[in-house]
Amino acid sequence: MRDTTREQRLVSISKLSDPESQVTISPADLNKKIYSIGCLKNINGGVSFNIKNSVGDAVITGVSQFSVNGCGIPLEEVVMRNNGTRLKASDINKSTPLPFPMGQDVEIYTRIHTLNKDTEHQIVISCVTEPYGILDLEATDLVIETSMDKTSPLQKDNERGPVFHLGTFPENEHQVFYRLPFSCLKTHEEREGDAWLSIEPVLEEAGAFPGKPYSLAMEGDNPGKSFPPKHREYFFHSGLIMRAESDWSDLWIKFSWEGSVHEQSAREVIELMDKIILALSRPVYKYVKNGTRFNACPNLNGRWAEQTRAFLGLDAGSISINTVVVDENGVILETDYTLTEGDVLNNIKKSLTNISARLPNNLKILGAGVTGSGHEIAMAVLNADVYETELDAHAEAALHLVPGAQVVFDIGGQDSKVMYLENGMLDEAGMNKKCGAGTGAFLDAQAARLGIPIEKFGEVSLRAKKPYSFSCMCTVFVGRDLISEQAKGNTKENIIAGLHKSLAMNFFSTLGIDKKRLKTPIVFQGGVASNIGVKRALEECLSEARGEKCEIIVPMRHNVMGAIGMALIARKQAAIRTKFRGFERAARIFSLFEECDMHGKLGCKKERICDLVKFFIGNEQVHTLYACKEYLPILEKTENEERQWTDRRLAGSAPIHP
């Protein structure tokens, strides 16, 4: 194969509307097609084009830059496809390359906005290829092809410019969003399909006609590969534009009539949608702009309620701070996952700030609950109403999201748990806190050794042809075997699949689980539940022991189950008036670590003086941790005396000093 120099790979293309255009690079390569760009189209609210390879078989092992008309596009918003393989540009690397055979096109799509067909456009993309190295492509006068779907309203109704921009929540009074939370079904596919089936007749009755569907998921994807949201755009004769999009937990119906010449007709469509959606026998929220924020109104007995009543749950763990808000019907409204990073207080405040920024103006917190190893600090920050153990919280969440659950496997970063449920309650449980080989820390250590991101472990392991059987399940000695197998030339896929099997076996052995006695349905939750390789390894261990196929259910929001459980428990135990101090006051809390200042009045000896953590909002002390039972009465008495002296001093009947 001909050797290609760096100079030859720096390609500037000027004839761009023709996908078969030839590119000349150097005198030695005159009239030889090397790489070319073409087929620029507006499609599904975004832009697509092709790159053709006329050099020789190659693979793309990385993308470093992508821009349209000088505007850099985040690589996670760029999708590249070739011959049945579709990847985000941000996911392409040596371990997950994109094939680029000679004579075939790579289709590139980004869902930014449509481009004006009457002007010229510039596209720049930089890739790393093997065996040719860096490939820099620049297209400077690209024009939109007009061969797109002639029946698409996208082309007919939106030739003036971009289709429309829709954020996460409504940004002006011309946008209305409807949110359909997924039902608690067995798999993501079932949950998503159920929501789409509910909304399709609604859209048909409202007179919507669809554009082309858009999804980053592909038929024929490898099992276990995560797939992003699905989208479909709909159009109305009034000029109203609607986008339906589903993510991991909700189906969103987003309307925009900004700039429509038929605003009254558009509002009539919204009124019709209100009437139809309110008749659905499932939870639905309507989101509308309100001042600088937005309101979210739940459907309540055939009308939109003015207020969203909700409950807050917080799980302060050693690895992460998880915060959840559920409504009074148990619908999960928002979640947040923030790493603890050794600073429980400040990252609790960070998590609360993150989640409060996504909550509507008309939401009222009616109760708050906390759990986790940092529950004492969490209780102080929130002034929470209730605390429960991690086991109770996780069991509550599992029963809510998987009704009828019998057993819960929970594998987190530092510990692992098994919970046995009976008659909708936690009956028995076991926890492993001594050995890290059955936890996420085990996989994190091996990921560092192998140089593969932990997020990719599950997907990589599914390509294993013969998972390696490690002789020891100990984290330390597994590392020794791993290095030995790499030296022998064993594949990373086989090694990682073996690690998953080792973790599964260690989970069962350290917790003393009799696999034959386990009842279904079995729920798998915790951070490690996102790893499809571990899920499969657990299922295989169970199937071998039971002599029959055994499937494990991974629920929605599996990585924040403790927080979900505490929000649900707070809902059950809600008082007439919550003690929750509010997001704004919680964000202002700070702490001081100091010796007890009451030891003289308490008569404590020097060696028995306690270290206290005092929490303040401004100059007000709002909570104290780790004080003895005698401390608070003395503190209260002292504060009362100081208040009485202040009152007398102001009245002129007290000495200058108390």
- Tell me the pLDDT tens digit for each residue of 115-170: 776 677 778 888 888 877 777 777 766 777 654 333 333 333 333 333 455 788 99
CA distance 551 to 560: 22
CA 576 – CA 375 distance, rounded (Å)? 23
Q: Say whether both 12 and 146 belong to one domain.
A: yes
340 domain-assigned: yes
Q: Is 40 helix (H, G, I), strand (E, B) or coil?
A: strand
Read off the CATH number of the domain in which 194 is found.
Answer: 3.60.90
User: Does 18 score more than 50 pLDDT?
Assistant: no
* Interacting residues of 210 by C-beta distance below 8 A, sequence separation 6+: 203, 232, 233, 234, 235
> Which carries the bigger pLDDT value, residue 432 or residue 284?
284
- The mean pLDDT of 276-299, rounded to a whole number, is 93
The confidence score (pLDDT) of residue 450 equals 82
Asked whether residue 242 falls in the same domain as residue 314, the answer is no
For position 39, which CATH number holds?
Answer: 2.60.40
pLDDT of residue 29: 36
Q: How far is CA 220 from the centre of its chain?
A: 24
Q: What pLDDT is attached to residue 100? A: 82
Q: Tell me: pLDDT of 488 over 80.
A: yes
Q: What percentage of the chain reaches a pLDDT higher than 70?
A: 75
In a domain, 657, yes or no: no
> In one letter, which amino acid is 103?
G
Tokens of 19: 């996908």
Q: Looking at the structure, tell me whether residues 283 and 197 fall in a common domain.
A: yes
Residue 621: what pLDDT?
84
* pLDDT attached to residue 245: 87
Strands 363-371 and 386-387 come out as parallel
Q: What percentage of the chain has pLDDT greater than the value 90?
A: 29
555-577: pLDDT as tens digits: 999 999 999 999 999 999 987 88
Task: Please tell me the predicted confidence (pLDDT) of residue 505.
Answer: 86
pLDDT class of 283 with cuts at 50, 70, 90 = very high
Q: Which of 267, 283, 304 is the last residue of a domain?
A: 304
Q: Give the Cα separation of 291 and 479 in Å (integer).
A: 56
| Residues 200 and 246: beta-carbon distance below 8 Å | no
Q: In this predicted structure, what is the pLDDT of residue 35?
A: 54
Instruction: State whether 312 and 358 are in the same domain.
Output: yes
User: Exposure pattern of 337-352 as b/e (b: 16+ CB <10 Å)?
Assistant: bbebeeebbbbbbbbb
Question: Are 432 and 451 found together in one domain?
Answer: yes
Lowest mean pLDDT among 264-268, 314-318, 476-480: 476-480
User: Last residue of a domain, which of 122, 155, 188?
Assistant: 155
CA–CA dist 347, 365 (Å, integer): 21
> What is the reported pLDDT for 227?
36
pLDDT at 599 over 70: no
Distance CA 45, CA 403 (A): 39
Rounded Cα–Cα distance for residues 136 and 91 (Å): 19
Most confident of 211-220, 296-305, 410-419: 296-305
Q: How confident is the model at residue 380 (pLDDT cuts 50, 70, 90)?
A: very high
Residues 296 and 191 in one domain: yes
Q: Where does a domain end: 288, 304, 320?
A: 304
On whether both 28 and 98 belong to a single domain, the answer is yes
What CATH number is given to the structural domain containing 391?
3.30.420.40
Sequence letter at residue 588: R
Assigned domain for 50 exists: yes
Q: Are residues 570 and 592 in the same domain?
A: no
- CB-based contact 31:24 (threshold 8 Å): yes
For residue 215, pLDDT over 70 is answered with no
- Asked if residue 506 belongs to a domain, the reply is yes
**Which domain covers residue 92, as residue numbers?**
6-155
Of the listed ranges 213-227, 439-453, 469-483, 538-552, the one predicted with least confidence: 213-227
DSSP 244-308: EEE-SSEEEEEEE-TT-S-HHHHHHHHHHHHHHHHTSSS--EEEEEETTEEEEEEEETTEE-S-E
Q: Give yes or no: residues 213 and 134 share one domain.
A: no
Note whether 297 and 312 are same-domain residues.
no
> Regarding predicted confidence, which is higher, 146 or 24?
146
pLDDT at 13: 32
Domain count across the chain: 5
Residue 260 vs residues 239, 241, 265, 532: alpha-carbon distances, Å: 5, 9, 9, 46
Higher pLDDT, 219 or 236: 236
Q: Tell whether the model's pLDDT for residue 427 goes beyond 50.
A: yes
Kindly give, in sequence order, each residue whose CB lies less than 8 Å from that of residue 321, ignoring residues fewer than 6 positions away.
Answer: 314, 315, 336, 337, 338, 339, 340, 344, 347, 348, 350, 351, 374
Whether the predicted pLDDT of 6 surpasses 60: no
More confident residue, 326 or 620: 326
pLDDT of residue 409: 94
Which range among 5-14, 37-46, 266-275, 504-513 shows the weakest confidence by mean pLDDT? Answer: 5-14
At 196, list the tokens.
């789409």
Report whether pLDDT(111) > 70.
Answer: no
Euclidean distance between CA atoms 131 and 40, whole angstroms? 27
**Is residue 277 one of the residues assigned to a domain?**
yes
Using 50, 70 and 90 to split pLDDT, how confident is the model at 7?
Answer: very low
Secondary structure percentages of the chain, helix, strand, coil, to 5 = 30, 30, 35
In a domain, 1, yes or no: no
What would the two tokens of residue 321 be? 């701070």
Highest mean pLDDT among 13-17, 596-600, 621-625, 635-639: 621-625
Closest among 545, 554, 543 to 521, alpha carbons compared: 554
User: Given a cut of 70, is residue 293 above it in pLDDT?
Assistant: yes
Residue 250 pLDDT greater than 50, yes or no: yes
pLDDT band at 33 (very low <50, low <70, confident <90, very high): very low
- H or E element: which one contains 176? strand 175-181
Name the phi and psi angles at 629, rounded to 5: -70, -20
33, with CB counted inside 10 A (0-12, 13-18, 19+), is middle
Same domain, 300 and 325: no
Tokens of 103: 């004579």
Residue 619 falls within a domain, yes or no? yes
Mean pLDDT, the chain, rounded, equals: 78
Confidence of residue 473 (pLDDT cuts 50, 70, 90): low
- Compute the average pLDDT of residues 416-426: 90
Task: Tell me the pTM.
Answer: 0.69
Q: Exposed, middle or buried: residue 150 (CB in 10 Å: 0-12, 13-18, 19+)?
A: exposed
Residues 252, 315: one domain? no
Distances (CA, A) of 466 to 473, 496, 504, 544: 18, 11, 17, 17
| Domain annotation covers residue 658 | no
Q: Which has the higher per-residue pLDDT, 410 or 451?
A: 410
Instruction: Report residue 32's pLDDT band, with 50, 70 and 90 as the boundaries.
Output: very low
